Amino acid sequence: MTVVGHPTIGIGRCLDRKGITEAEARVLLENDLAEVRAQVAQALPWSTRLSEARQVVLQAMAFQMGMAGLLGFKGTLAAVQRGDFAAAAQGMLNSLWARQTPARAGRMAEMMRKG
């Protein structure tokens, strides 16, 4: 939001004068992550039975691309659901997302593969 030419956050917090502290940024991040965790669990209820590492992969993808982006990985998600984690990792690596963020996608695919 911008008020009289100044970017703000929350209720009148002027970012170009004070910004936010690292602690405040962490609180915002934790709130965002809690929301993403809930969205992934609701959209993909079977995902709650995955290892923590594989749940984190799905949550990280949703955090980066939004739920619509994650849900666009239909073949990959089907592979995850049936427990074919090697195919899921390969599907992740064969995506536009992986071409745009290769290091992150590589880390996430390895986490998916190894659990």
pLDDT in tens, 79-94: 999 999 999 999 999 9
Percent of residues, the chain, with pLDDT higher than 90: 79
Each domain of the chain, given as residue ranges in start order, spans: 2-114
User: 2-114 has which CATH code?
Assistant: 1.10.530.40
DSSP 3-state assignment of 23?
helix
Enumerate helices (H) and strands (E) in the chain, giving the number of each. 6, 3
Angular region, 95: left φ>0, alpha ψ -120 to 50, beta rest:
beta
Answer yes or no: is pLDDT of 104 > 90: yes
pTM score of the predicted model: 0.85
Backbone angles phi, psi at 17, to 5 degrees: -100, -45
